[in-house]
Amino acid sequence: MSDPSPSDPSTPAQRLAQLRAAVPTLQLRTDAEDLAWYGVDWTRRWTPAPLAVALPGDVDEVQAVMRWAHANRVAVVPSGGRTGLSGGAVAANGELVLSLQRMNKVLAFDPVDRLLTVQPGIVLEAVHAAAREHGLAYPVDFAARGSCSIGGNIATNAGGIRVLRYGNTREWIAGLKLVTGTGELLDLGRGLVKNSSGYDLRHLAIASEGTLGVIVEATLKLTDPPPDTQVMLLALPSFEVLMQVFTTLRERLQLEAFEFFTDRALHHVVAHGAQPPFDAVHPYYVIAEFASGSEAQEVQVLSAFEYCTEQGWVEDGVISQGGAQAAQLWRLREGITESIAACVPYKNDVSVRISAMPAFLAETQALLAREYPHFEVVWFGHIGDGNLHINVLKPADMDNAAFVADCERVTTLLASTLQTHGGSISAEHGIGLVKKKYLASTRSPAEIAAMRGIKTVFDPAGILNPGKLFDA
Ligand code: MLT
Ligand code: ZN
């Protein structure tokens, strides 16, 4: 991975002519509409300004693009479904967007190893369907399943609504092919269950946010299909009670998911068209999904529900009877992001150990009540994983830059609270552009120095997603 001398500066048009000559078969788009579409993710905070959008059709083309980019010092932004929430796929500085969207096929299934090999541009929902076709499941799941790509999921180690039971994306990656910043192809992991042969570079690539390489193929572990389930929605008076309900249900049931949201979150989802679940408004709601097929399990479910009610914890509650009702209840949680999107939320995605959650939450609630008396704050998240999403909504009449500046001031305070509790500034959305100034609240200077050193090995010219995660 040697570092060439920089080439002479050239105009964008000359660079593209060079790229066309270097990779004649490459699909390239330069229309203003395409540049605007491919240059942003769901943050929509930066003005897109890519050099062009390259849509390679195979690994050879990705390698050829990276060799050219390395030789000519052209910044490259690897791009999946761009559903990210941290600016990781934004191209606002003349970068070449490298969209993997055309590389979206299932390549192989191995029934003995229970492995599915896919191209990076395949959407998560298609991975679910492919696993189902083989009588198995790929269990990582979240609301963006219809548009996010597996490459992006891997690049951010995406979490979602079933981490409590199945873990993050990282747990499901048996192999990865990665094209580095010099255009070399690395074949990592290769589906081996056991492999004690030194550094596992596959795990460096996972959550690297496109800064170490371009994921061009992934081999995914599959598992048994999930059990039959039911969904319970409970209205609760306080966060303390919510944690008690979590402990109780985790002990008594086989939980598949345990999520929470507040009255403000419900307000927005209902305003967006969802059915209100109860007549009255309550401070907190939990949605729990659990195995429930057998008679014995159904008895356990009822007894757990009754126990929570007898403790005086439950203000109202419902247990789904059938898939349609379960889907309706899930919509209340999964519809939150879309329902508040028009309010341009400033998103915090923080985590602490579950045991630290009550103390962290009490401090954070006090902090936000003090610092944000003028903003609406919508809380929801993956409470069973210690992961809170704190969404601050922009008042309609406020300038976006002033809003972000105020939110960043408070995020600095939040980051220091997190540090006290040993938490993370990004549980699952990634650092990208949005959180990089807070990275040091979660990672020590020595860790960040090691991360920079690793980046230099994979990408000596510093062309892969520059400015994301940390500055050079
Ligand atoms: C979620 O949990 O719904 C996702 O992380 C998206 C979000 O935080 O808006
Ligand atoms: Zn989430």
Q: In CATH, which of 3.40.30.10, 3.30.70.2740, 3.30.2450.30, 3.40.1400.10 is domain 344-431? A: 3.30.70.2740
Which ligand 1 atom minimizes the distance to the CA of 428?
Answer: 5
Residues 114, 118, 120, 125, CA torsion sign: negative
Q: Where are the domains of the chain?
A: 12-102+454-458, 106-221, 229-337, 344-431
Equal fold, 12-102+454-458 vs 229-337: no
DSSP β-bridge partners for residue 97: 53, 77
CATH number of 106-221: 3.30.465.10
Helix or strand or coil: residue 464? strand
Which ligand 1 atom minimizes the distance to the CA of 161?
Answer: 2
Helix or strand or coil: residue 54? strand
Residues with Cβ within 8 Å of residue 58, at least 6 apart in sequence: 103
Burial 91-117 (b: 16+ CB within 10 A, else e): bbeebbbbbbbebbebeebeeeebbbb
- Residue 386 Cα to ligand 2 middle (Å): 11
pLDDT of res. 452: 98
DSSP β-bridge partners for residue 214: 179
**Contact yes or no for 3/461 (Cβ under 8 A):** yes
- Residue 388 Cα to ligand 2 middle (Å): 8
Distance between CA atoms of residues 259 and 162, nearest Å: 9
pLDDT of res. 334: 97
Q: pTM for the whole thing?
A: 0.96
Q: Answer whether 268 contacts ligand 1 (Cβ < 6 A).
A: no
- Residue 337 Cα to ligand 1 middle (Å): 6
Which fold would CATH assign to domain 229-337?
Alpha-Beta Plaits (3.30.70)
Q: Answer whether 339 contacts ligand 1 (Cβ < 6 A).
A: no
Give the number of other Cβ atoms within 10 Å of residue 194's Cβ.
5
Q: Answer whether 337 contacts ligand 1 (Cβ < 6 A).
A: yes
Q: Answer whether 389 contacts ligand 1 (Cβ < 6 A).
A: yes
Phi, psi of 341 (to 5 degrees): -60, -35
pLDDT of res. 8: 55
- Residue 195 Cα to ligand 2 middle (Å): 32
Cite the beta strand spans of 301-430 per DSSP E. Answer: 316-319, 346-351, 376-382, 387-393
- Residue 160 Cα to ligand 2 middle (Å): 5
Give the number of residues written for the chain: 472
Tally helices (H) and strands (E) across the chain: 15, 16
Q: Answer whether 383 contacts ligand 1 (Cβ < 6 A).
A: no
Give the number of other Cβ atoms within 10 Å of residue 198's Cβ.
6
Work out whether strand 387-393 and strand 376-382 pair parallel, antiparallel, or are unpaired. antiparallel
CATH number of 12-102+454-458: 3.30.43.10
The token pair at 285 is 């709601």
Amino acid of residue 385: D
**Contact yes or no for 188/201 (Cβ under 8 A):** yes
Distance between CA atoms of residues 375 and 379, nearest Å: 13
**Contact yes or no for 463/74 (Cβ under 8 A):** yes
Which ligand 1 atom minimizes the distance to the CA of 337?
Answer: 9
If one residue of 43, 124, 142 were mutated to test the ligand 1 pocket, choosing by the most ligand atoms within 8 A of its CB, it would be 142
Which ligand 1 atom minimizes the distance to the CA of 382?
Answer: 2
Q: Answer whether 148 contacts ligand 1 (Cβ < 6 A).
A: no
Taking CA atoms only, the protein residue closest to ligand 1 atom 8 is: 389
pLDDT of res. 10: 84
Q: Which of 156, 59, 71 is nearest to 98 (CA)?
A: 59
Helix or strand or coil: residue 328? helix
Describe the strand order of the beta sheet including 229-236 as a list of residue ranges: 316-319, 229-236, 284-291, 255-262, 376-382, 387-393, 346-351
Distance between CA atoms of residues 111 and 354, nearest Å: 36
- Residue 72 Cα to ligand 2 middle (Å): 38
Q: Answer whether 150 contacts ligand 1 (Cβ < 6 A).
A: no
Q: What is the chain's pLDDT, residue by residue, as a tens digit (472 residues)?
A: 444 444 556 899 999 999 999 999 999 999 999 999 999 999 989 999 999 999 999 999 999 999 999 999 999 999 999 999 999 999 999 999 999 999 999 999 999 999 999 999 999 999 999 999 999 999 999 999 999 999 999 999 999 999 999 999 999 999 999 999 999 999 999 999 999 999 999 999 999 999 999 999 999 999 999 999 999 999 999 999 999 999 999 999 999 999 999 999 999 999 999 999 999 999 999 999 999 989 999 999 999 999 999 999 999 999 999 999 999 999 999 999 999 999 999 999 999 999 999 999 999 999 999 999 999 999 999 999 999 999 999 999 999 999 999 999 999 999 999 999 999 999 999 999 999 999 999 999 999 999 999 999 999 999 999 999 999 8
323: enclosing H helix or E strand = helix 323-334
Which ligand 1 atom minimizes the distance to the CA of 159?
Answer: 5
Which ligand 1 atom minimizes the distance to the CA of 381?
Answer: 2
DSSP β-bridge partners for residue 178: 186, 215
Q: Answer whether 348 contacts ligand 1 (Cβ < 6 A).
A: no
Which ligand 1 atom minimizes the distance to the CA of 334?
Answer: 3
Which ligand 1 atom minimizes the distance to the CA of 380?
Answer: 2
DSSP state of 173: E
Give the N- to C-terminal CA distance of the chain in Å, as an integer. Answer: 18
Q: Answer whether 163 contacts ligand 1 (Cβ < 6 A).
A: no
Distance between CA atoms of residues 213 and 459, nearest Å: 8
Q: Which of 316, 410, 423 is nearest to 367 (CA)?
A: 410
